[in-house]
Chains A and B, each alone.
Chain A
Amino acid sequence: MNLTLILFYVLGAVAVLTALGLLVSRSAVYAVLYLVLNFATVAVFYLLLGAPFIALTQVTVYAGAIMVLFLFVVMLLGAEKLPKGKVLPWQRPLAIGLAVVLLAEAGYLLFQRIQATAVLSAPGTELNTTEALRTLALSLFNQYLLPFEVTSILLLVAMVGAIVLTKKEKGEQA
């Protein structure tokens, strides 16, 4: 068993456990911190997969910007915990049952498809990091230039939308 495989198993366990922590934690602040750890482990997965640019984007955009925004809203609202309300009695067992069905279904389909297409897998072309990054950038700014520009409009619209949603109307009481 090589070192990468051991690292993979450890990180996989951490990823699954932190996701479980997100599911069961009562406090929203803990949930945010679990999710940050989850995103960090996924970033290491990206590094293992030879995608350093995506890994760093994951850390800065997801674990950094997005989760800080979440943490900010959690603390701003002061709504870390919900009061005990009445819960639908059948909701939790039904949800777990459906999730198990989804897991089995998705796992079965993916693995069946993998076995069918495993022969198509390209032989390993060794790309060093700089070369891979260069190829990614060239692809992004040539072939995918239009989606890239549309993305900027999307971000602008989202920004304006967020401002409009949170702005108080003139003369409206808080």
Chain B
Amino acid sequence: MIGELGGVPLYGYLAISVILFTMGTLGVLIRRNALIIFMSVELMLNAANLAFVAFAANYGVLTGQIFVFFVMTVAAAEVAVGLALIVAIFHTKHSIDVDQMSSLKG
């Protein structure tokens, strides 16, 4: 499997990765719901992971997979803190619309 990618060319995976990353960026840019913006960031991280694994399989090395493992751990930590922030903001503002989070204090 490793090296020949199981009959699928490398650029197929990279195309999926690029498309998913762009859609994640688009989600961050056009949505107002903080939760959905956060999910779009997760989508972007996932697209980067896919490119990592595709390259790792293409070159027959496992370093890419190790990196993906670390990215996943960092994403888990990020989600824990980010969701706590969103809950805290919701408790003070009673909304998770990012357009309303325009003041630094309270």
Interface residues in chain A, defined as those with a beta carbon under 8 Å from any beta carbon in chain B:
2, 4-5, 8, 12, 15-16, 19-20, 22-23, 28, 31-32, 35, 38-39, 42, 45-46, 48-51, 53-54, 57-58, 61-62, 65-66, 69-70, 73-74, 76-77, 79, 82, 85, 87, 91-92, 95-96, 98-99, 102-103, 106-107, 110-111, 114, 120-127, 132, 135-136, 139-140, 144, 147, 151, 154-155, 157-159, 161-163, 165-166
Contact = CB atoms under 8 A, between A and B. Distances in A.
A47 B87 CA distance: 35
B32 A87 contact: yes
A14 to B, nearest CB: 10
A contacts with B: majority SS? helix
Contact of B76 (A65, A95, A111, A157): A65
A108 to B, nearest CB: 10
A54 B56 CA distance: 12
A59 B74 CA distance: 16
Q: Which of A49, A54, A161 has the most B CB atoms < 10 Å from its CB?
A: A49
Interface of B: 1-8, 10-16, 18-27, 29-33, 35-36, 38-40, 42-43, 46, 49-50, 53-54, 56-63, 65-66, 68-70, 72-81, 83-88, 90, 95-97, 99
A124 B81 contact: no
B60 A19 contact: no
Contacts of A20: 23
Given A49-B54, A51-B57, A73-B83, A125 B2 contact: yes
Contacts of B27: 22-23
* Chain B at the A interface: SS class: helix
Contacts of A96: 26, 30
B73 A154 contact: yes
A50 B1 contact: yes
A116 to B, nearest CB: 13
Contacts of B13: 45, 49
Given A8-B12, A51-B65, A132-B62, A102 B22 contact: yes
